[in-house]
Structure 1
């Protein structure tokens, strides 16, 4: 059997499709940054109120993500992803009904509840198809969806903001059209995705067996333990450590992305120009993912690449607040986006070294949900600083400090865990036949 051909076939069948789905998700969660240019005045949203509402999405996401990923392995990715797509699409469409800050807050929270579990669910789904050594590139390719969403959204947003049909303004149509796409995307999801390699008609029984054998080998070599009670992962120091490490990246990503249109608006009055100019940082984000995922795959572990990316992101976003020339500001935001959107593809193979099976679904969900509190903190902090100082640029300094702490935290965890094979220090309560040693990667 040719391993590279099999992995290539899996990638072609799965990764482009889940990329499309996550692009739709990212469009739906980020459309608010462009809609704010009109709806702010229509529904009386201050910068602080907008930042709070934008961040409330992540509070709903945080509260319901672990329960969502608890259900995922039990009903299968195909059905559960379809449910998520349809419900978040309907909530996005309902956001066109926003009339005041209170309704805005409620709908943003409900959007987080509806979408909860989708991103970590896909990450867990990929662990069922790829051995550990292939995951950095697979994950790095998948997360291209984030900047791709903004590349698509920028020009479309400029066009949609100019719509005035049937008594509805542009921002109303943005929510209706983007939410409608998510609802429709549920139909092919139900038929295209397969829950496991055994279910895929394009994988032979021998190839499915090879995948299962390789995943089992990873469990032994990396010391992964699957518990009868997957919620035991919530007591792991590894899960908490990675959750804290993921937090700065989401502060930076959403702190920047939700405010890029507002920053660009300061030096152009045309909504169409805002749409096109706002895509520039995400072109560099897209390039960054392509380059860094391949660079990081050359390392045995991703600790040093991750620390370097955090550090350069801090420099870029700090410069975005310091410079006053529009060209230099866009260049600084582009440098920040190059690094910020690279973090996910380099980060996620690290926790997957320690978690497996249903335990992985819960552990990855918690890491993502806790880290995504940063999606609340980033937009809200930038909004509060903007209200206090008169410009969202000053909020960039706050984001830079948080990202610098991410670089430091990465090196601290590298010193504590890097290069350590946890199979030599595992503790009881695993699956039948698991060795009982100390300092388990999950369920301490």
Structure 2
């Protein structure tokens, strides 16, 4: 078998083995994180929660996430990704199920905070895990392969959640069954992780010996041949200037992203109030919006790999998202169909930026340092997941509409784009990744 055939065969087997499984795990995590948006359509009324209470509760998840994100990632590098992913999924399944039984705002805040603690470090763990099984030139496609679970979970979860809101069994309301039923897959997959995943390449039994040796040597050679790569320890990476700047950009992005995602069912319901669209029908409409976002994420990830460019792909996607988000609110008073089209484009932009963005840290950091950087960026960035939903609810409570809130979210996305563009100008280097081992030898690191 020649080198090209060996590479193709190995990459194909790695992809078939890892991507579908991690895709399912990540789909479940996103579903358990954002199903609160649909639950709010009933829960807020049943429990007499205001938009501000809901926004705070939806966002406080990310405070817990922030506290344990970096320590959790450090623990993961010691105990192994397999055990840590399993622990995360089992604990968040239990806490997500407990959300069905909250009765007061304080109980709501506590369970959401604990859910954030439980899920902390899950995403950086998955990105770091995949970066150890793929060459740099395949990072964009590999990350996009499981990250399409984000819009995919929403595409699946929107009609499913809308359906579950319509049931009433054993004295429990639909929003309670939503949390209970959607927590069950987390428990199942958490247990399966212990038996299905391998902690490192050397432990793999599902590759032929020739393929395994090629993969080990290729990954090792690529890491040693990168010039200007930063061989930090886990904790040194947390103080790197470029890591901190990327964290700031991600923070502004997540303000806009989660602000719209957490309130999307509520915003869509109010946009369509004049058309008398049912909750179940709205679930299918929102699901279709996320399918388009899923396709966009895949296409942008592939295009970013082909062009060997990351940051401008991110900036363009976020700028488009911001502009169409604001325009969708303006056109809601003129043409509701066009308003939903613009809102769909906004979602596509917000999701399309993911895979090129997360291809950046592994391109200039190695092993434990990459895990630390990904954890810090995700940790600080996801504080925006607290700020966005809370301020959307607060501003809406003050003004009585989502107009100012959407302007605020759009501004956050624009600021995120500007930070990445500014980073390019400051470094004076193209944030590109090498396409082959020959290119690596002449490679100047992205940041």
Calculate the TM-score normalised by the size of structure 1.
0.92
Distance 1:115 1:47 in 2: 25
1:342 paired to 2:359:
no
Structure 1 unaligned blocks of 5 or more: 423-439
Cα shift readout 1:173-207 (whole Å, capped 9, x = no counterpart) = 00111112211211221111111122111123443
> What is the aligned counterpart of 1:383 among 383, 389, 393?
393
1:76 paired to 2:68:
no
**Residue of structure 1 equivalent to 2:202:** 198
**Residue of structure 1 equivalent to 2:24:** 20
> What is the aligned counterpart of 2:328 among 320, 333, 338?
320
**Residue of structure 2 equivalent to 1:99:** 103
Conserved 8 A contact 2:51-2:397 = yes
1:65 paired to 2:69:
yes
**Residue of structure 2 equivalent to 1:121:** 125
Change (3 A) 1:187 1:161: same
Cα shift readout 1:243-282 (whole Å, capped 9, x = no counterpart) = 1121222122211111110012112452212211222321
**Residue of structure 2 equivalent to 1:244:** 248
**Residue of structure 2 equivalent to 1:224:** 229
Distance 2:341 2:264 in 1: 12
Distance 1:191 1:235 in 2: 36
**Residue of structure 1 equivalent to 2:369:** 359
**Residue of structure 2 equivalent to 1:412:** 422
Per mean C-alpha deviation after superposition, the further-off stretch among 168-177 and 296-305 is 296-305
Is the partner of 1:171 in helix, strand or coil?
helix
Conserved 8 A contact 2:61-2:113 = yes
> What is the aligned counterpart of 1:305 among 313, 326, 330?
313
Conserved 8 A contact 2:325-2:406 = yes
Per mean C-alpha deviation after superposition, the further-off stretch among 211-220 and 143-152 is 211-220
1:111 paired to 2:115:
yes
Distance 1:225 1:204 in 2: 32
Distance 1:419 1:340 in 2: 25
**Following TM superposition, by how much is the alpha carbon of 1:79 offset from its aligned partner in structure 2, in angstroms?**
1.0
**Following TM superposition, by how much is the alpha carbon of 1:380 offset from its aligned partner in structure 2, in angstroms?**
1.1
Change (3 A) 1:39 1:353: same
Structure 2 unaligned blocks of 5 or more: 433-444
Change (3 A) 1:222 1:330: farther
Is the partner of 2:306 in helix, strand or coil?
coil
Cα shift readout 1:271-304 (whole Å, capped 9, x = no counterpart) = 2122112223212211111211111112223122
Is the partner of 1:368 in helix, strand or coil?
helix
Is the partner of 2:199 in helix, strand or coil?
coil
**Residue of structure 2 equivalent to 1:262:** 266
1:165 paired to 2:174:
no
Distance 2:152 2:309 in 1: 27
Is the partner of 2:48 in helix, strand or coil?
coil
> What is the aligned counterpart of 2:50 among 43, 46, 51?
46
> What is the aligned counterpart of 2:60 among 47, 56, 59?
56
Change (3 A) 1:110 1:420: same
Q: Give the total of aligned pairs.
A: 424
**Residue of structure 2 equivalent to 1:369:** 379
Distance 1:183 1:395 in 2: 36
Distance 1:168 1:420 in 2: 55
**Residue of structure 2 equivalent to 1:36:** 40
**Residue of structure 2 equivalent to 1:425:** none
Conserved 8 A contact 1:33-1:258 = yes
1:253 paired to 2:226:
no
Cα shift readout 1:306-347 (whole Å, capped 9, x = no counterpart) = 221121111111112222132122111100111111111010
Distance 2:356 2:67 in 1: 25
Conserved 8 A contact 1:222-1:421 = no
**Residue of structure 1 equivalent to 2:147:** 143
Change (3 A) 1:273 1:394: farther
Distance 1:16 1:417 in 2: 37
Per mean C-alpha deviation after superposition, the further-off stretch among 321-330 and 124-133 is 321-330
Per mean C-alpha deviation after superposition, the further-off stretch among 286-295 and 245-254 is 245-254
Q: What root-mean-square deviation, in Å, do the aligned CA atoms of Structure 1 and Structure 2 show?
A: 1.9
Cα shift readout 1:376-404 (whole Å, capped 9, x = no counterpart) = 11111211121112123431111111111
**Residue of structure 2 equivalent to 1:333:** 343
Cα shift readout 1:7-36 (whole Å, capped 9, x = no counterpart) = 111111101110100000000000100000
Calculate the TM-score normalised by the size of structure 2.
0.91
**Residue of structure 2 equivalent to 1:181:** 185
Change (3 A) 1:257 1:421: closer
Conserved 8 A contact 2:135-2:222 = yes
Conserved 8 A contact 1:139-1:348 = yes
